[in-house]
Structure 1
Amino acid sequence: MKKKLKKIRITGGLFKGRVLHSVSKIDVRPTGNRIKHILFSWLKPYIEKSLCLDCFAGSGSLSIESVSRLAKFVTALEKNYILVKKLKKTLKNFSINNISILQFNTIRWLKNSGNPHDIIYLDPPFSNKKLLNQSITYLEKYNWTHKDSIIYIEHIDNKIELPKNWKLMKTKKIGAVLFSLYWKL
């Protein structure tokens, strides 16, 4: 019996209901539709005209959801060539031109001096806590955040190293997934 593919849908905005490309044969864990729905209800007052950085883009679901809800621009970082290729095809099919998908290692990218972003998504592989903590450190150290930046983190526990000037706004757990929003003071 064939395993039924779980469809990745856009949960709101301009592209609500549209289905993204399949990621069934790639080792990636897309953010679930229920979590995305909650996340973007949290982000509703902040998302319009925002500049976003999707640090581990994977399927591109958070990036596309952001522009669907009127984010101004998203820079999406993903090191997997196949995922980048699929995401570029999806952007073309959806006629989206305000997402820049870059095939790049997120840690290497963040080690360069950056431009501050309004909303940052951190959803690295769950098994790699070091990767999450490095990302947080580099976001601060290399100027990727500004006062009032919002940082979304998807993780499995609260054992993460956060800067003292990041205030927890909201957090929720669904299944094994803990997801949180932080506000940089």
Structure 2
Amino acid sequence: MRPKRSPSKNTSRPSRDSRASAPGGSGKLRIIGGKFRRRQLPVLESPGLRPTPDRVRETLFNWLAAHVEGAQVLDLFAGTGALGIEALSRGAASACLVERDSKVAAQLSHNLALLEVENASVISRDVSAFLTIPPSTAFSLVFLDPPFHQALVEPCCQALENGWLTPRAMIYVETEAGLSPPVPNSWSLHRETRAGESIGRLYQRLL
């Protein structure tokens, strides 16, 4: 999260994590809660791609404390997988992580294998195209953190209403500061926080 990739790269979730990448071309993602707590996973060296900062995840998962156990998770623009993997660590029933960059997606699959996670899948596909597919299942927890300044938030939010969400689903949306994208009328703002150049909003679906 934060800063986002350049506009030409409609892909992963970068962050403003101040930790430098480790020598040898990779950084580390540290899981902060749940059964994988303190596990460190390699992060592919890719421009702007770093783990979501611990403090952002801690705040978000405090908000979600009553909603993660048993959740069906959809992590869009997954990047390092920090949010999807954190949810799995905290008891989510399953997770689908969607990441356009094939190399980043391969690293995600590798990290899930390192954790011996069998209830997750990684899909290497453009998110906008992915959301046009009729869903085979609905999700109760969605993470949506697209690259900044590409006008992706509103169409993705609207697309999620086409069968992707369960009743009372929780949806976390992160945008650049100053942007207040329209969301479906059925979504109610539950929590909001600002961290540097980004704003995170957690919505709950009322239907």
Query: Shared fold (TM-score greater than 0.5)?
Result: yes
- 2:166 match: 146
Q: State TM-score, norm by structure 2.
A: 0.83
Residue type of the alignment partner of 2:100: K
Between the aligned partners of 1:25 and 1:110, the Cα distance in structure 2 is 25
3-state SS in 1 of match to 2:35: helix
Equivalent residues, number: 181
Residue 99 of structure 2 contacts residue 122 of structure 2 at CA under 8 Å; is this kept in 1?
Answer: yes
Q: Please identify which structure carries the higher helix content.
A: 1
Please report how far the alpha carbon of residue 29 of structure 1 lies from its aligned counterpart in structure 2 after TM superposition: 5.0
- 1:53 match: 74
Residue 77 of structure 2 contacts residue 98 of structure 2 at CA under 8 Å; is this kept in 1?
Answer: yes
- The 1:136/1:147 distance shift into structure 2, 3 A limit, reads same
Q: Give ranges in structure 2 of 5+ residues lacking alignment.
A: 1-18, 22-26
Between the aligned partners of 1:24 and 1:103, the Cα distance in structure 2 is 17
Alignment identity in percent? Answer: 30
- 2:185 match: 164
4+ aligned runs moved over 4 Å, structure 1 = none
- 2:41 match: 20
Residue type of the alignment partner of 1:162: V
Please report how far the alpha carbon of residue 58 of structure 1 lies from its aligned counterpart in structure 2 after TM superposition: 0.6
Q: State TM-score, norm by structure 1.
A: 0.92
Residue type of the alignment partner of 1:148: R
Q: Give ranges in structure 1 of 5+ residues lacking alignment.
A: none
Between the aligned partners of 1:174 and 1:125, the Cα distance in structure 2 is 16
Residue type of the alignment partner of 2:148: F
Between the aligned partners of 2:198 and 2:39, the Cα distance in structure 1 is 24
Q: Please identify which structure carries the higher strand content.
A: 2
Q: Which has the higher contact order (CA 8 A, sep 6+)?
A: 2
Residue 28 of structure 2 contacts residue 51 of structure 2 at CA under 8 Å; is this kept in 1?
Answer: no
Matched, 1:113 2:129: no
Query: What's the RMSD between the two structures over aligned residues?
Result: 1.5
Render the CA deviation track for 1:44-63: whole Å, top value 9, x for unaligned: 10100110100111111111
Render the CA deviation track for 1:65-114: whole Å, top value 9, x for unaligned: 01100000001101101111111111111111111011111111111222
